[in-house]
Structure 1
């Protein structure tokens, strides 16, 4: 997900997307703790997506 994809969305869409990504991050962390996560780079990608969404939210305010 690129910042250019995110910056055109409305504030409500960004908040929904942020909520989804945070739930996904929680699930990935739980899988990591139980040794079920095979691709650990997913954690980093989701964290970066969350940061991009938060940046877009701040820019729209």
Structure 2
């Protein structure tokens, strides 16, 4: 996901995407704790996506 993809979305769409990514991050963390996560880089990607969405939300709010 790139920031340029998020820049043209409104705050409602961004909030929905943020909720989905946080749920995904939660499930990835659970899988990691239970030793079922094969690709641990997915955690880092999910965290970065959440940060990009938060940045886009702050840009829309201002």
Structure 1 unaligned regions, length at least 5: none
TM-score when scaled to structure 2? 0.98
TM-score when scaled to structure 1? 0.99
Q: Measure the CA separation in 2 of the matches of 1:40 and 1:29.
A: 9
Q: Measure the CA separation in 2 of the matches of 1:53 and 1:23.
A: 14
Q: Measure the CA separation in 1 of the matches of 2:32 and 2:20.
A: 18
Q: Measure the CA separation in 2 of the matches of 1:8 and 1:29.
A: 30
Q: How does 1:33-44 map to 2 (within 5 A)?
A: 33-44=33-44
Please, what is the CA RMSD of the aligned residues? 0.2
Moved over 2 A (4+): none
Shift of 1:47: 0.2
Structure 2 unaligned regions, length at least 5: none
Q: Measure the CA separation in 2 of the matches of 1:14 and 1:28.
A: 21
